[in-house]
Amino acid sequence: MPHWTDERLQNIADVCAKNEFHIASKLLNIKESTLERYLREASVRGIKSEAGEIENPHQPNILILDIENSPSIVASWGIRKQYIGTEYIVREWYMFSWALKYLHGTEIYSDVITPEESLAGDDKRILENLWKFVNYADIIIGHNMDGFDKKKMNSRFIYHGIDPPSGYQTVDTLKVARSQFSFTSNKLDYIARLLGLPGKEDKGDITRWLRCMEGSQEDLDKMHKYNRGDITLTEDVYLKLRPYIKGHPNLGLFGNSEVDVCYKCGSVDIDYLEGDYYYTTVNKFKKYRCNNCRTIGRSHFSAITAEDRKHLTVAVAK
Ligand SMILES: [Zn+2]
C-alpha cells in the first residue's frame, strides 16, 4: 500500500488539524469517507499534527497508567523472618499519586495528594478524579497492571464507597516480559535501557516515600514528577514489546472498518503472507505481518473450504 506513507499521512493530518473536516476534504481533494480512513491510520501510527491532536472515533480509549502508593507502617519486634499480624499495622497504605496518558496522546494527566491529605492518609479526592478516566477506558496498559495497579485502585475505590468502573481490558507489560522473554530483570527501567530507551531519570529511595507520608510538599512534588515520568517510559516499553504480546485485546472490534485491520494496532497496512498459514488441529488460516506494529496475526476466516474439510481426520479423545 504505497500511498499510506508517514509523510503523506502527516500532511493530511496537518491539513485536517487546521481546517474543518469538510473543508480539509475539499482542500485535499479526498472524499470524506476516504479521508476518515487516512486519519484513522495516522492515529494508529501515532502521527501527531503540530496543529492539534487527531481525533479518531474508531479507536478505543487506550490508557497507559501508573500509580504510586505509600507503604504500610507496621510495628515489629525485629527485622528478620517476622510474622506481622494486622494488629501491628500502625498506618495503612494509601495512594500518593496517579498519572496516565492516552496511547500516542501528547498530554499526561495526573494528580497528587496534598500534604494535609497525606498526613490524614486521605486519597479520596484523587481516587475520584482517577475513576473518571478509568470508567471510560476500554483498555489500560501498565507494568504490573494486573498484579498491582488494578488491585490497588480497586482496593481504594471500594474503601471510599466508589462504584466499580464500567470495565476494561488490560495489557500488563510485566506479564509479557515474564511470559515471552528471559530478561535478566523484568523491572521497567531495566527493560527500557536494554531496549535502547532512556530509562528512569530519577529512581528515588524509600526515604522519599516516608517523607511523603510525613506531608513533605517537596517530596510529594518529586513523587508526582516521578510518576509522570513512568508513563512515557511504560508507553515506550509497550510499543517495543507489542509485536511479541500474545492475547492482546482486539482493536478491530472497536472500529467499523470495511477492510482488514491489524487486531493489535488497528492499522490497515497489513500484508498477507503468501503460502504461510496458521494451523489449528482442524483448520488453517492466512497469516499477515503488520507493517505498522510488526505483529504476526491471522485472518478470522478459514483458508480451507468446506469441501476440503470433508476429508480431514482427527485423533480420538479416549
Ligand atoms: Zn499492527
pLDDT at 53: 63
Task: Tell me, in angstroms, the distance from the centre of ligand 1 to residue 251's CA.
Answer: 10
Closest CA to 37 of 15, 58, 21: 58
Residues with CB under 5 A from ligand 1 (ion): 262, 264-265, 267, 290, 292-293, 295
pTM tops 0.85: yes
187-238 tens-digit pLDDT = 999 999 999 998 887 777 899 999 999 999 999 999 999 999 999 999 999 9
Regions of the chain where pLDDT drops below 50: none
Give me the sign of the Cα torsion angle 42, 43, 47, 52.
Answer: positive
pLDDT at 238: 98
**What is the Cα–Cα distance from 19 to 25, expressed in whole angstroms?**
9
Task: Tell me, in angstroms, the distance from the centre of ligand 1 to residue 264's CA.
Answer: 5
Query: Residue 188 in contact with residue 152, Cβ under 8 Å?
Result: no
Task: Tell me, in angstroms, the distance from the centre of ligand 1 to residue 108's CA.
Answer: 24
Task: Tell me, in angstroms, the distance from the centre of ligand 1 to residue 296's CA.
Answer: 8
Task: Tell me, in angstroms, the distance from the centre of ligand 1 to residue 172's CA.
Answer: 18
pLDDT at 129: 97
Task: Tell me, in angstroms, the distance from the centre of ligand 1 to residue 46's CA.
Answer: 12
Task: Tell me, in angstroms, the distance from the centre of ligand 1 to residue 265's CA.
Answer: 4
Closest CA to 149 of 127, 178, 122: 127
pLDDT at 36: 82
Task: Tell me, in angstroms, the distance from the centre of ligand 1 to residue 47's CA.
Answer: 14
Task: Tell me, in angstroms, the distance from the centre of ligand 1 to residue 240's CA.
Answer: 12
Average pLDDT, the chain: 91
Could you tell me whether strands 139-142 and 89-91 are parallel, antiparallel, or unpaired per DSSP bridges? unpaired
Task: Tell me, in angstroms, the distance from the centre of ligand 1 to residue 190's CA.
Answer: 25
pLDDT at 58: 63
Beta carbons within 10 angstroms of residue 182's beta carbon: 7
Task: Tell me, in angstroms, the distance from the centre of ligand 1 to residue 263's CA.
Answer: 7
Task: Tell me, in angstroms, the distance from the centre of ligand 1 to residue 248's CA.
Answer: 11
